[in-house]
Structures are given as structure tokens and as C-alpha cells.
């Protein structure tokens, strides 16, 4: 799908890694994933710097992480596996990254030793699986790497947070054993305490619902202590005396997760001016869009606020209603967009915007009904007056 190059940033002389898209059929997805990765800020995750295009193709640059990946470390020092304490440290650090990523409603999809680099600051998670969904029915593996991917993924089923947990447990098993676990006959881990093996087996359960549920739980199971929270949430909101920030941020974060969006935002009607004010946002461009005002009828969101009807735009950049100058100001111009009204009875109090499905496919008419139902629920949640807020705090 792509190639990665070691490059020099001429502006400051620093080394960077640059990924170039080779499969142009994946252009939309490449851009969406690049911008989503750029919004992540965590010391255990490779940081993206810039997405750009030129006549030779599509690219995005990332920090250059120096150090061996864990597969190289295993090949070099494995006998046949690596020391237990080292592996537990690597897994704990990988879990710090996964805990943050999963709280952003993102699934890595390809956890394996090759994608965990041991740098000066510890293990760094790289390669977020851009356009890795290949057709397993044609004989190619699905999302992930055979031997390390969860059984439900190998069978072409749904990918979830627990798919990553399986892959990380399989990675730990590989680092301890020198080879990955099988799906049925796994043998045992020689020289490893039974409680460590049992913890990994719980994370390697065949059925996702029976599996260790989270990265935090896996570390607690392995090391009997909780992962430190080194991350922060991507959801942002403007101060509002009537609406708890945590509530607004939870709504946009949940909307992004439910609709697999790279970004989501809520704009509410300012009755004094008649404008739509973006009160909360999650994901790419969130920091820049919060607080922005749109006049009624301006852009897609303003048009929905004026007419009270949902609008789905398969290709934003060719739609005359799209407020491209506003999007350009946020540094994030979406490919596809779905906007629905926040309605309580006959009144429209705001709009919910969903930007870019993460798999690169456009939003369509089939998504509108579900989004409207979510919008009705969101309207009830965010339309809290002082009396309702007092009741909320009392609870």
C-alpha cells in the first residue's frame, strides 16, 4: 500500500520518517488516518507531523524513532525468548499506548513485535495500519498479521479493542517463547511463572467477550498494578455555565465512536445572534474548531441549523455549500461529512457533525437515520438549563 522513507526536514535538519501512498485507490483513507494520527499526543505513540501532497503523490511525515523493534531484539537476544522482566516492561509500556488509543475510540489493528520500537524513552507504538483491511477471502490476511491477529479478525469478523488485547498478549507470548501461540495448541511457557502464563491465556481467549477487557486490566493481571495514565483526552469544549464540559465532551467522543468518525463536533444555537457556535469537538481539528461561529445558512452546519434537515455529503470538496474557509482555518478539510439537527420537539437547538469515516468510505443515506436518532438523544443531553444542571450536580 505504501513505502516509508528515512528523510531530513530541511527546515530544521531533523530526521523524519515519511510514508508515501503507492495505492491511489486508498487515497481518502490514507489522508483520514494521517490526520487522525496527527491528533494523537502520547509519549508511547509515534507522533505525526504533517500530511501533504505534491505532483508525485500523497505523503505524511512522522517523527523518526531510533532503535530496534522488538522482533529484531528477539532475533538478536532471544534464547529462545527474552527475559521475563524485560518482556513485562515492554508489555506495560505498550499497554500505556493502547489504553490511550482505545480511549480515543481507535483500534490499532496490527500489534506485533515489529510495530513496537525500543527507543531511548521506552517502547513506542508505530504503524497504525493505514489501509490494512485486505480481503481475507481472496487468500490474503485480514487486518493484522497471521499468528498474532485475534481469531475473530482472521475469520473476517469485527475488529474491537479486545482484538488489540489479543494481539498484544500474542506478542508477549512470542517474546517469551520465541514463537507465537497457536489458536488451539499453545503448549506452555517454560521458565515463566504460572500466573503470568494464566494472565496471557486469559487475554488469548478465543471468544472476545471472554477475553481480558482492556489494556489496564491486562497490566493489572500481569504485574498486579495499574498502568499510569500518561495521556489526555482528545475531546474539547468551551466553558459553559449551563452545560458540564464532561457531558459535552462525552457526547462528541461517543458520536465519533458509534459512527467510526475521524472527528465529531456539536454546534449550538446562540439565540442572541442566531449563529451556530461550536461548543464541543473530538478528534482531528478539535482544538481549532471549538468556539468558531457560523451564521445561519453558512456552510453545511449552518444550512442544517436553518432548514432543520440532515445533510449528507459524500464529497465535501466538490459541494458548493461547504464552508471551505472555515475548514482550512482548522487545518482539517474533510473528505465526507454528515450533519444532523439537534432537535427537541419542533425546535432545532444545534447540529451534530460527523467528519470522515475512518475506513475512507463516504457517508451515505443509510447513515442518516441512525445519526438522527443519535442527534435526538444528544439534544436531550446537551440542552440542560440551570435547573436541570442543578439536578445533575445533586445526583
- The count of other CB atoms within 10 Å of the CB of residue 269 is 18
Three-state SS sequence of the chain: CEEEEEEECCCCCCEEEEEEECCHHHHHHHHHHHHHHHCCCCCCECCEEEEEEECCEEEEEEECCCCCEHHHHHHHHCCCCCCHHHHHHHHHHHHHHHHHHHHCCCCCCCCCHHHEEEECCEEEECCCCCCCCCCHHHCCCCCCCCCCCCHHHHCCCCCCHHHHHHHHHHHHHHHHHCCCCCCCCCCCCCCCCHHHHHHHHHHCCCCHHHCCCCHHHHHHHHHCCCCCCCCCCCCEECCCCCCCHHHHHHHHHHHHHHCCEEEEEEEEEECCCCEEEEEEEEECCHHHHCCCEECCCCHHHHHHHHHCCCEEECCHHHCCCCCHHHHHHHCCCCCCEEEEEEEECCEEEEEEEEEEECCCCCCCHHHHHHHHHHHHHHHHHHCCCHHHHHHHHHC
Cell readout for 381 is 443531553
Please list the active-site residues. Answer: 110
How buried is 40 (Cβ within 10 angstroms: 0-12 exposed, 13-18 middle, 19+ buried)? buried
Q: Which of 349, 348, 288, 353 is nearest to 321 (CA)?
A: 353
Tell me the CB-side half-sphere exposure of residue 97, using CA atoms within 13 A.
28
**How far apart (Å, rounded) are the C-alpha atoms in residues 41 and 46?**
9
**How far apart (Å, rounded) are the C-alpha atoms in residues 64 and 17?**
5
Amino acid at each position: 500500500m505504501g513505502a516509508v522513507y528515512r528523510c531530513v526536514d530541511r527546515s530544521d535538519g531533523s530526521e523524519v520518517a515519511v510514508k508515501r501512498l503507492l495505492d491511489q485507490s486508498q487515497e481518502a483513507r490514507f489522508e483520514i488516518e494521517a490526520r487522525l494520527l496527527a491528533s494523537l499526543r502520547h509519549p508511547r505513540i509515534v507522533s505525526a507531523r504533517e500530511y501533504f501532497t505534491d505532483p508525485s503523490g500523497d505523503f505524511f511525515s512522522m517523527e523518526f524513532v531510533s532503535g530496534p523493534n522488538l522482533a529484531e531484539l528477539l532475533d538478536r537476544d532471544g534464547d529462545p525468548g527474552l527475559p521475563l522482566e524485560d518482556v513485562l516492561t515492554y508489555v506495560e509500556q505498550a499497554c500505556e499506548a493502547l489504553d490511550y488509543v482505545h480511549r480515543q475510540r481507535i483500534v490499532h489493528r496490527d500489534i506485533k513485535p515489529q510495530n513496537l520500537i525500543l527507543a531511548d524513552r521506552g517502547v513506542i507504538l508505530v504503524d497504525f495500519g493505514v489501509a490494512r483491511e485486505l480481503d481475507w477471502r481472496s487468500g490474503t490476511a485480514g487486518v493484522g498479521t497471521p499468528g498474532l491477529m485475534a481469531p475473530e479478525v482472521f475469520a473476517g469478523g469485527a475488529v474491537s479493542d479486545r482484538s488489540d488485547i489479543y494481539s498484544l498478549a500474542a506478542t508477549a507470548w512470542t517474546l517469551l517463547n520465541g514463537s507465537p501461540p497457536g489458536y488451539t495448541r499453545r503448549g506452555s511457557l517454560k521458565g515463566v511463572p504460572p500466573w503470568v502464563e494464566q494472565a496471557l491465556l486469559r487475554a488469548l481467549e478465543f471468544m472476545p467477550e471472554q477475553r481480558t477487557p482492556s489494556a489496564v486490566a491486562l497490566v493489572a493481571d500481569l504485574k498486579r498494578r495499574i498502568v499510569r495514565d500518561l495521556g489526555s483526552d482528545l475531546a474539547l469544549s468551551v466553558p459553559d455555565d449551563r452545560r458540564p464540559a464532561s457531558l459535552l465532551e462525552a457526547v462528541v467522543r461517543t458520536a465519533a465512536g458509534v459512527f467510526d468518525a475521524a472527528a465529531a463536533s456539536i454546534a449550538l444555537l446562540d439565540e442572541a445572534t442566531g449563529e451556530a457556535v461550536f461548543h464541543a469537538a473530538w478528534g482531528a481539528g478539535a482544538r481549532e474548531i471549538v468556539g468558531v461561529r457560523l451564521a445561519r445558512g453558512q456552510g453545511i452546519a449552518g444550512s442544517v441549523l436553518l432548514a432543520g434537515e440532515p445533510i449528507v455529503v459524500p464529497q465535501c470538496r466538490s459541494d458548493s455549500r461547504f464552508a471551505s474557509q472555515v475548514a482550512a482555518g482548522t487545518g482539517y478539510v474533510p473528505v465526507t461529512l454528515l450533519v444532523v439537527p439537534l432537535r427537541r420537539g419542533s425546535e432545532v437547538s444545534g447540529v451534530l457533525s460527523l467528519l470522515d469515516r475512518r475506513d475512507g468510505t463516504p457517508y451515505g443515506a443509510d447513515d442518516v437515520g441512525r445519526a438522527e436518532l443519535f442527534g435526538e438523544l444528544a439534544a436531550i443531553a446537551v440542552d440542560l438549563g440551570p435547573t436541570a444542571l442543578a439536578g445533575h450536580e445533586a445526583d
